[in-house]
């Protein structure tokens, strides 16, 4: 009898042409929170898919020992029957069904005659909701609650299956700090109830907060498992990237020029409810060569501000003025905004940024086809040349520019998005969460690119939910709360404490 609830021994998984996992070992003690770290593509998700039966027994080598017995899962149902539940990064909830219906999906609470007993369903659901600390009516539809709460519903759903081992794949990736904290507290709380958790995360500070031990995976191999007392951020990063990472942010000396962009009194209302103010009288400016950050909690209106500015892509009843080099410009449509020198790289590159079934070349040219037009025809050789130049200058890792962007890793996808916008030759680039879901090494490259753009005299606005990132790369930071700019600090004065105070400042009522 060991104290380990789970042992994965010598797991090897190959895909045609790629060895995704090479002899990986993982030991998880009963009742602990075990973190798995690694860069994107290191093999974390593959390992969890092996564990949960998504890749069935027989498609991998090695043994999985769960509760002292060797298990051979054929699919997810098999692993769930044993009490292993995985919660994926992309939540698997049906937006039009209620919380209770989602919790008991495929596990319906039946009453007499095999029909669903709705009273029982909702009653059991509310008990589970209480356990995860979510105060919502179980009949509320999923689409009406935020991502943070949806995550809690997923956990409630896992609890309904009598979970023994809970696997959370990047659970806080889409959450703000408050919701993240709540979730992490819940994980610790569940630990108190004897539930073991495996948490996959990029965020080192939260790993430090909750994990009892950390296993680092790199290039499909286990590097080491570190006990809580020995965990330091530096050590984890070193394991993840394979060498010391002295600077997480590249050096940047600003060479500020004249004012490039000025936004005055920018206001936008909710697209469905035009009485609700989402962006409230925002004033801001950006100088040439300046990197300006916008910090704000989830729901502060950061993305909404950027998208309403960029061709009125969000919201209704939008008002305010935009000036470029002191001259008022119109940004009523996206093409107008682009023509007037504004570019916006979205926070959600897969849904809003890229055509994933198309190649790198055509994604880069997508916003600037006019430039390649010659007597009404697109000069496709020139397009290839331009894309190849970007591939080199941006260090996009792919055999050539004819690779479909859907096959690239997150960091390389982001470089394609940036290339697209750089090629449109804007004066001001708005980058919304430019490093979301990207591993440490690629983040550094993105920062370098941002610096380079600033050095070329572009104005850069960076929106990010990671405060350290903003403080690491910006020259000046605005704080946004409830759609209003609550403050503006030069980088020397922008301490995390000062920023958080501004970011949580409420509207006087």
Site string for another protein, 294-323 (x = CB under 8 A): ----------------xx-x----------
Residues 56-85 that bind another protein (CB under 8 A): none
Phi, psi of 276 (to 5 degrees): -90, 120
Phi, psi of 496 (to 5 degrees): -55, -40
Residue 220 beta carbon to another protein: minimum distance, rounded to whole angstroms: 10
End-to-end alpha-carbon separation of the chain, Å?
61
Residue 365 beta carbon to another protein: minimum distance, rounded to whole angstroms: 8
Residues 434-473 that bind another protein (CB under 8 A): 439-445, 448-449, 452-453, 455-456
Select 272 or 392, whichever has its Cβ closest to another protein: 392
Among 61, 65, 54, smallest CA distance to 13 is for 61
The DSSP call for residue 407 is: G
Among 352, 277, 377, smallest CA distance to 318 is for 277
Select 280 or 469, whichever has its Cβ closest to another protein: 469
Residues 322-351 that bind another protein (CB under 8 A): 333-335, 337-339, 344, 346, 351
The CA distance from 160 to 170, in Å, is: 21
Instruction: Pull the structure tokens for residue 20.
Output: 């995704």
Cα–Cα distance list, 277 to 214, 268, 294, 312 (Å): 44, 6, 19, 15
Residue 19 beta carbon to another protein: minimum distance, rounded to whole angstroms: 9
Residue 463 beta carbon to another protein: minimum distance, rounded to whole angstroms: 15
Residues 169-188 that bind another protein (CB under 8 A): none
Could you tell me how many helices (H) and strands (E) the chain has, helices first?
16, 22
Site string for another protein, 16-35 (x = CB under 8 A): xxx-x---------------
The CA distance from 228 to 224, in Å, is: 13
**Side-chain half-sphere CA neighbours of 97 within 13 A:** 13
Select 15 or 96, whichever has its Cβ closest to another protein: 15
Residue 90 beta carbon to another protein: minimum distance, rounded to whole angstroms: 16
Select 185 or 382, whichever has its Cβ closest to another protein: 382
Q: If binding means CB under 8 A, how many residues of this protein chain bind another protein?
A: 86
Select 31 or 457, whichever has its Cβ closest to another protein: 457
Select 75 or 358, whichever has its Cβ closest to another protein: 358
Residue 445 in 3-state DSSP? Answer: helix
Residues 202-221 that bind another protein (CB under 8 A): none
Stretch near another protein under the rule CB under 8 A, chosen from 99-107, 270-278, 372-380, 491-499: 372-380
Which strand (E) or helix (H) includes residue 454?
A: helix 440-455
Do 183 and 172 form a contact (C-beta atoms < 8 A)?
yes
Residue 449 in 3-state DSSP? Answer: helix
Select 81 or 402, whichever has its Cβ closest to another protein: 402
Report CA 485 to chain centroid distance, whole Å: 24
**Angle, CA 412 vertex, CA 398 and CA 394 arms, to 5°:** 85
Site membership for another protein, residue 15 (CB under 8 A): yes
Residue 222 beta carbon to another protein: minimum distance, rounded to whole angstroms: 17
Helices 410-423 + 380-393 axis angle, to 10:
120
The CA distance from 501 to 479, in Å, is: 9
Select 50 or 155, whichever has its Cβ closest to another protein: 50
Interface with another protein (CB under 8 A), residue from 23, 25, 40, 504: 40
> What percent helix, strand, coil does the chain show, rounded to 5?
35, 30, 35
Do 219 and 42 form a contact (C-beta atoms < 8 A)?
yes
Select 66 or 390, whichever has its Cβ closest to another protein: 390
Site string for another protein, 391-430 (x = CB under 8 A): -xxxx-xxxx--x---xxx-xx------xx-xxxx-----
Select 401 or 489, whichever has its Cβ closest to another protein: 401
Site string for another protein, 352-371 (x = CB under 8 A): xxxxxxx---x--xxx-xxx
Select 188 or 369, whichever has its Cβ closest to another protein: 369
Residues 108-127 that bind another protein (CB under 8 A): none
Interface with another protein (CB under 8 A), residue from 69, 246, 251, 497: 246
Residue 352 beta carbon to another protein: minimum distance, rounded to whole angstroms: 5
Residue 441 beta carbon to another protein: minimum distance, rounded to whole angstroms: 3
Residue 415 in 3-state DSSP? Answer: helix
Interface with another protein (CB under 8 A), residue from 39, 179, 290, 482: 39
H helix runs in 143-262, sequence order: 147-160, 177-192, 204-210, 233-241
DSSP 131-152: HTT--S-TTSBGGGS-HHHHHH
Beta-strand pair 428-432/342-345: parallel
Residue 288 beta carbon to another protein: minimum distance, rounded to whole angstroms: 15
Select 53 or 487, whichever has its Cβ closest to another protein: 53
Stretch near another protein under the rule CB under 8 A, chosen from 10-18, 80-88, 186-194, 476-484: 10-18
Do 289 and 457 form a contact (C-beta atoms < 8 A)?
yes
Select 189 or 385, whichever has its Cβ closest to another protein: 385
């Amino acid at each position: 009898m060991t104290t380990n609830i789970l042992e994965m021994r010598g797991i090897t998984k190959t895909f045609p042409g790629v060895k995704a996992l090479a002899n990986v070992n993982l030991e998880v003690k009963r009742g602990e929170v075990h973190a798995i770290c690694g860069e994107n593509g290191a093999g974390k998700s593959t390992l969890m898919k092996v564990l949960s039966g998504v890749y069935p027994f027989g498609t991998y080598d090695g043994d999985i020992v769960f509760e002292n017995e060797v298990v051979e899962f054929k699919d997810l149902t098999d692993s769930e029957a044993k009490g292993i539940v995985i919660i994926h990064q992309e939540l698997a909830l049906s937006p039009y069904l209620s919380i209770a219906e989602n919790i008991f999906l495929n596990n319906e609470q039946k009453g007499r005659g095999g029909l669903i007993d709705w009273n029982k369903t909702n009653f059991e659901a509310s008990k589970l909701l209480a356990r995860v600390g979510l105060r919502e009516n179980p009949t509320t539809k999923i689409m009406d609650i935020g991502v943070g709460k949806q995550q809690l519903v997923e956990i409630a759903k896992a609890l309904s299956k009598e979970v023994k081992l809970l696997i959370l794949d990047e659970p806080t990736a889409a959450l703000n700090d408050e919701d993240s904290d709540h979730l992490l507290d819940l994980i610790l709380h569940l630990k108190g109830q004897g539930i073991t958790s495996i948490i996959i995360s990029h965020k080192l500070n939260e790993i430090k907060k909750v994990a009892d031990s950390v296993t680092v995976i790199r290039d499909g191999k286990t590097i080491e498992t570190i006990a809580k007392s020995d965990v330091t951020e530096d050590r984890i990063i070193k394991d993840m990237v394979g060498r010391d990472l002295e600077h997480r942010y590249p050096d940047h000396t600003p060479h500020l020029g004249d004012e490039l962009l000025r936004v005055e009194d920018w206001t936008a209302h909710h697209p469905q409810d035009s009485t609700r103010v989402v962006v409230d009288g925002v004033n801001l400016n950006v100088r040439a060569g300046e990197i300006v950050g916008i910090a704000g909690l989830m729901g502060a209106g950061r993305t909404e501000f950027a998208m309403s500015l960029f061709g009125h892509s969000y919201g209704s009843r939008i008002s305010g003025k935009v000036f470029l080099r002191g001259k008022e410009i119109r940004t009523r449509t996206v093409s107008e905004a682009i023509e007037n020198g504004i570019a916006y790289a979205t926070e959600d590159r897969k849904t809003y940024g890229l055509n994933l079934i198309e190649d790198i070349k055509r994604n880069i040219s997508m916003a600037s086809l006019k430039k390649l037009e010659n007597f009404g025809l697109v000069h496709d050789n020139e397009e290839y040349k331009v894309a190849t130049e970007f591939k080199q200058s941006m260090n996009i890792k792919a055999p050539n520019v004819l690779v479909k962007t859907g096959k690239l890793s997150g960091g390389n996808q982001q470089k394609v998005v940036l290339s697209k916008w750089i090629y449109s030759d804007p004066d001001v680039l708005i980058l919304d969460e430019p490093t979301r879901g990207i591993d440490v090494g690629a983040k550094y490259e993105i920062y370098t690119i941002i610096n380079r753009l600033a050095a070329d005299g572009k104005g850069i606005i960076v929106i990010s939910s990671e405060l350290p990132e903003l403080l690491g790369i910006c020259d000046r930071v605005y704080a946004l709360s409830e759609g209003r700019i609550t403050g503006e600090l030069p980088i020397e004065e922008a301490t995390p404490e000062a920023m958080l105070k501004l970011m949580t400042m409420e509207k006087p009522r």
